[in-house]
Structure 1
Amino acid sequence: MKDLLHRPRRLRISGGVRNLVRETRLTSHDLIYPLFIVPGEKIRDEISSLPGICHLSVDEAVKEARTAYELGIQGVLVFGLPEYKDEEGSSAWDMNSPVQKAVAAIKQNLPGLVVITDVCLCQYTTTGHCGLIKGETVDNDSTLDLLAKVALSHAKAGADMVAPSDMMDGHVAVMRDCLDHHDYSQVAIMGYSAKYASGYYGPFREAADSAPQFGDRRTYQMDPANAREALREVQLDITEGADIVMVKPALAYLDIIRQVRDRFDAPVAAYNVSGEYAMVKAAAQNGWIDEKRIVLETLLGIKRAGADMIITYHALDAAKWLAEQED
């Protein structure tokens, strides 16, 4: 054993050596922080299934966005809960709705922060589905123009990027055409390109008040069994004009993130979703895990799999912990 030529442990001997040879680096610049905006003022109500995450009025959202920005987080993803719902989801493109007001306020106060908006109808329709209902079916093509109206309203409010999460066929192309036609060619599109019909979304349904009133979303979100289909979906989004593609959820789909990274040159986002966050928080609250270590290891694993950016509810805590590591 004295004649061993290769000793990998030589490169693990100290923190300094490990830093020099580290292959994957996670920083606060890799993180995007979701915000849930509600009507009203001075509202900061914790969401029971997402400990540490709150429903925020516009004024409080600006404060939360500033905290994120000062921690080095580069972007926020804005969701909204409207004052009213109808069959079309018309409050989704109402310029007086919480998302549009929050976007304008955040950009006015923090022009350097990248503001991304979720484009969907589920929070805004009485059915809770992501598109217009005909009979008991989500009608793809009649939904597209409505989604374009939502994206355009976000652009008018000042959004840097829109992120359609509805999974309607052809939605990226319709939004790109609408934005370009109205002189918003600078507004980017982050496609929810490979969005699976997942059980990990449970806490989000409470946070966004978006549970479907009948059926489920398996006719438009992807089957968790399929990988090759994800690559087709990503290719379609890129062809239609998506600037960034996304895989959602992250942890059960690390293989998909890696395949997308290997196949395509577009930037890849991964969404570390509500159920993934809630499980970690619950285990930490019970003293079963070291929350800091688990969170940073999880986010590092998502980045190692190939994600260029990670949407995560852990963003504020992770950014603080990463800053501590640098000190």
Structure 2
Amino acid sequence: MVFPEYRPRRMRRNATLRAMIRETRLSAEQLVLPVFVQPGRGRREAIASMPGVCRLTVDELVKEARACLQCGLRALILFGLPEKKDALGSGAYAKNGIVQQALRTLKDKVPEMLLITDVCLCEYTDHGHCGCLHGREVDNDATLELLARTALSHAEAGADMVAPSDMMDGRVAEIRSTLDEAGLYQVPIMSYAVKYASAFYGPFRDAADSTPQFGDRRAYQMDPANSREALREATLDVEEGADILMVKPALSSLDIIRQVRDEFDLPVAAYQVSGEYAMIKAAAANGWIDEARVMAESLLAIRRAGADIIISYFAKDMARALGEKA
């Protein structure tokens, strides 16, 4: 048998060679850990559908942030669980809301940590939808003011970046204008530019108690069947002033991450969502897969698709594993 002159296996013979020519690399600096902050003190409530993830009070969140820094993880994205909910989601933009409290405390206690905030109303509304209602429909334009108020309150409390996830038309422009008018032009917007109405969000809704009381979110989140629409959505957010474009969910949207990466020169983020995390955890708990290897492989796939930033519930574990290998 005559072999080709080039034999690819030559460069796979040992770990040093493989590492030397590795095309895609993952580092802790590219990872963001989502955290759920709740009222009270000294409480860490486990989330059954997301093993290893807890709802944290502000004091416990400070401990978590310090633990993250120790393993090289330097960014969090905050989701709030208010004491009370109402039709307008007023806890989202309250001056002393739970996320605002957490921001001020973290900036005081752990100033090295980069703090991103989710800007949406679904965790704060008693109906569970991402905006205020007109009858049984989400009123897009009336919601914009509330989202901008939320982003402004987060920035004033110390957020380094705001991340609108609501999928209302025009919200990036409204938030950018509001921040700029307040002199907060240095605060970037990481837009959930492509957010599909995905079945992979189930465990998050348990964690944030944000399941809609009626209907669903398919009237404002995107149809998972659509890719050309993803580029139209991203284009709109670029034109409105987004600084980073996010694709969500990540693993079932690797093709979309690549298309967004190829089309735009802004940084691209991807969110490995709760259901993607929970599936890996469940399979590992049953002994069907090697959790550490699948964790790393899944995150590398997201990077290989073109994401510069990865939001993942595995972020701390992955950062720790990367530190141990260094």
What is the TM-score normalised by the length of structure 2? 0.99
TM-superposed deviation, 1:3? 5.5
1:324 aligned partner, one-letter code? E
Quote the Cα distance in structure 2 between the aligned partners of 1:69 and 1:237.
Answer: 32
2:213 corresponds in structure 1 to: 213
TM-superposed deviation, 1:223? 0.3
TM-superposed deviation, 1:4? 3.2
Structure 1: state its 5+ residue gaps: none
Aligned residues of 2:72 and 2:320 also touching (Cα < 8 A): no
Aligned residues of 1:83 and 1:97 also touching (Cα < 8 A): no
TM-superposed deviation, 1:82? 0.3
Note the alpha carbon deviations across 1:164-183, whole angstroms, 9 max, x for none: 00000000000000000011
What pairs up with 1:88-107 in 2 under 5 angstroms?
Answer: 88-107=88-107
Quote the Cα distance in structure 1 between the aligned partners of 2:2 and 2:245.
Answer: 51
Please tell me whether residue 120 in structure 1 is matched to residue 125 in structure 2. Answer: no
3-state SS in 2 of match to 1:118? strand
Quote the Cα distance in structure 2 between the aligned partners of 1:54 and 1:104.
Answer: 21
Aligned residues of 1:30 and 1:74 also touching (Cα < 8 A): no
TM-superposed deviation, 1:207? 0.5
3-state SS in 2 of match to 1:217? coil
1:15 aligned partner, one-letter code? A
Quote the Cα distance in structure 1 between the aligned partners of 2:210 and 2:4.
Answer: 60
TM-superposed deviation, 1:2? 5.7
1:50 corresponds in structure 2 to: 50
Quote the Cα distance in structure 2 between the aligned partners of 1:136 and 1:36.
Answer: 28
What pairs up with 1:150-229 in 2 under 5 angstroms?
Answer: 150-229=150-229
Quote the Cα distance in structure 2 between the aligned partners of 1:250 and 1:161.
Answer: 20
Structure 2: state its 5+ residue gaps: none
Aligned residues of 1:103 and 1:154 also touching (Cα < 8 A): yes
TM-superposed deviation, 1:52? 0.4
Quote the Cα distance in structure 1 between the aligned partners of 2:157 and 2:246.
Answer: 24
2:60 corresponds in structure 1 to: 60
TM-superposed deviation, 1:321? 1.3
Quote the Cα distance in structure 2 between the aligned partners of 1:95 and 1:74.
Answer: 25
2:38 corresponds in structure 1 to: 38
Quote the Cα distance in structure 2 between the aligned partners of 1:121 and 1:92.
Answer: 6
3-state SS in 1 of match to 2:189? strand
1:259 aligned partner, one-letter code? Q
3-state SS in 2 of match to 1:246? strand
TM-superposed deviation, 1:285? 0.8
Quote the Cα distance in structure 2 between the aligned partners of 1:3 and 1:204.
Answer: 52
Note the alpha carbon deviations across 1:185-232, whole angstroms, 9 max, x for none: 111100000000000000000111100000000000000000010001
What is the TM-score normalised by the length of structure 1? 0.98
Quote the Cα distance in structure 1 between the aligned partners of 2:173 and 2:296.
Answer: 36
3-state SS in 2 of match to 1:296? helix
Please tell me whether residue 26 in structure 1 is matched to residue 23 in structure 2. Answer: no
3-state SS in 2 of match to 1:247? strand
1:239 corresponds in structure 2 to: 239
1:6 corresponds in structure 2 to: 6
2:21 aligned partner, one-letter code? V
